[in-house]
Structure 1
């Protein structure tokens, strides 16, 4: 055919392959996606913001930071590792309850907003000072039942119960509905550290004493439990300071009691692995970026356009020069 005969000079591989590669690169520039079946995760990140989380002793990239700051770094990394289509909610634990900031939202479309929210988490957002972890578990269970879809919970805490548990204040969690979709992440050093005490301007006043921690544990600036008052007392000597540790033994026992999973937060990769083994909310189609695939194909086509003919010519030239010399 006359038309094909005119195109024949342009159908040579030296012209055709680079042309296809250029076309694929042009398509890749628009960042195309294709729908692929994936496990869709809906995850609520619950962060303990009680005052014991201000305790230092956590190491992040060589820096000694507080438990709360470490949790924020860990949450940043977890969100960054989630594939598009995943949904994330952020919630706080303080006093007796868990409160969510928003229902789970898609991670890629709202990535900047989610990370910005995590970056601004601080202890002054607490609405109560005490840290009643068992009551918090019951509150979380009720909160998750209000979510629009099945949602997993990742709970970051040091396991500090304040006031300490005894026979009369230990809530029975036998009927708590959780299951394998809960993950408790232990945050904190096993080396005893004093709990800093700040004022409403985040200025360090001193450290919690053993006495006032027992009598009025973790008092926040505004709390229904302290009738609007605030204990300003601090430890008078280093020996008087209340020393806090991450209570891993209690967290393991608590996770077994509510049929949840536990992981030590010291290892971020272990936390990611535990998160990836959680039960998905559902299986659905989610977009997958294919621009990198198109770019790889384009690169392969460009290489193919130079081989084997160009390679043969290059080898002939090399051999010819060796024979001359």
Structure 2
């Protein structure tokens, strides 16, 4: 199907005539002698007078060039048949805690000690890439919550934004309620059965404007399912950190995370190691996809090159004609002042 992407460009068609009407006539500054018997003078000089073309025929090539340029600027294109896009209908938002405690290196990845955030990047990055056909988005939260990537089919970009997340970018506290509230704002306009939020944190709510349980109730009203993941290793009994009274997982508010999931029909997961977090990803893979309105796309072939090439070709012909055509060399504007 033929289509013009920018048909409004044709409003520029009368522009040359408007400029000619509005702008003053050009003055070369040279003296000119106007005579009414130029033809007789050329005959007496033994020359054949050039046959003058009507004014409209002289302007016709330039008119054609202008029409071709405007037509090319309107971006003509040929649209192919509509092709369906593969979509499962699932809209999945990931809310990742980037507060200061997520920098604690109590997790293992391939035999090395890594921080909690680094482990989330390794495992959830693969989880994002495998969501073929899903819309995936990313929220980063600390003292405040920010939408890092909106819901999109471009999963590679979402993973890149997750990989580039740094500790403290959103503040040092943990605003669980604000993260849920931002997710509600982004998911409420999506189909009712496809609103899913996965919330990953290692602490208790100690910042933000909204209480987590109140935000969970609002999410339940909007039909948003929230799966919560508490991350952080338990201190080994009798270990050095425990003897000093330190437990890296003590700040995790598991009752609140469980309540958030229960109110919204989701599940709560505890990730104490990389293997547990990986198994949680496998469980989340079993979320039932929901069909939504089928998306379609058309393959378009740009056609502007053809009118643009035609305009260039006519321009080159006019230039060559003015340089080499003998009759044009004898026109008054090409002769010297001695003629």
Residues 156-175 of structure 1 mapped to structure 2, 5 A cutoff:
156-162=200-206, 172-173=214-215, 175=217
CA distance in structure 2 between the partners assigned to 1:53 and 1:41 by the alignment: 28
Residues 65-80 of structure 1 mapped to structure 2, 5 A cutoff:
65-80=114-129
Q: Would the alpha carbon gap of residues 147 and 123 (structure 1) be closer, same or farther in structure 2, given more than 3 Å must change?
A: farther
* Contact 2:93–2:196 (CA under 8 A) maintained in structure 1: yes
Q: Which sections of structure 2, spanning at least 5 residues, go unmatched?
A: 1-82, 238-242, 298-339
Partner of 1:57: 106
Task: Find the residue that maps to 2:126 and give its secondary structure.
Answer: helix
Partner of 1:252: 258
Q: What are the superposed Cα offsets for residues 265-291 of structure 1, whole Å, 9 maximum, x if unpaired?
A: 42413323224315536264799xxxx
Q: Name which of 74, 78, 89 aligns with 2:137.
A: 89
Q: Would the alpha carbon gap of residues 94 and 78 (structure 1) be closer, same or farther in structure 2, given more than 3 Å must change?
A: same
Q: What TM-score do the two structures reach when normalised by structure 2?
A: 0.49
CA distance in structure 2 between the partners assigned to 1:258 and 1:275 by the alignment: 18
CA offset at residue 47 of structure 1?
0.8
Q: Which has the larger radius of gyration?
A: 2
Residues 155-234 of structure 1 mapped to structure 2, 5 A cutoff:
155-162=199-206, 172-173=214-215, 175-178=217-220, 179=223, 181-191=225-235
Higher relative contact order (Cα pairs below 8 Å, separated by 6+ residues): 1
* Contact 1:56–1:65 (CA under 8 A) maintained in structure 2: yes
* Contact 2:180–2:216 (CA under 8 A) maintained in structure 1: no
Q: Name which of 178, 181, 206 aligns with 1:138.
A: 181
CA distance in structure 2 between the partners assigned to 1:159 and 1:251 by the alignment: 10
Q: What are the superposed Cα offsets for residues 46-70 of structure 1, whole Å, 9 maximum, x if unpaired?
A: 1111111112222222222111111
Partner of 2:153: 106
* Aligned-residue CA RMSD (Å): 3.7
Q: Does 1:129 align with 2:139?
A: no
Task: Find the residue that maps to 1:102 and give its secondary structure.
Answer: strand
Task: Find the residue that maps to 1:160 and give its secondary structure.
Answer: coil
CA offset at residue 119 of structure 1?
1.3
Whose strand fraction is larger, Structure 1's or Structure 2's? Answer: 1
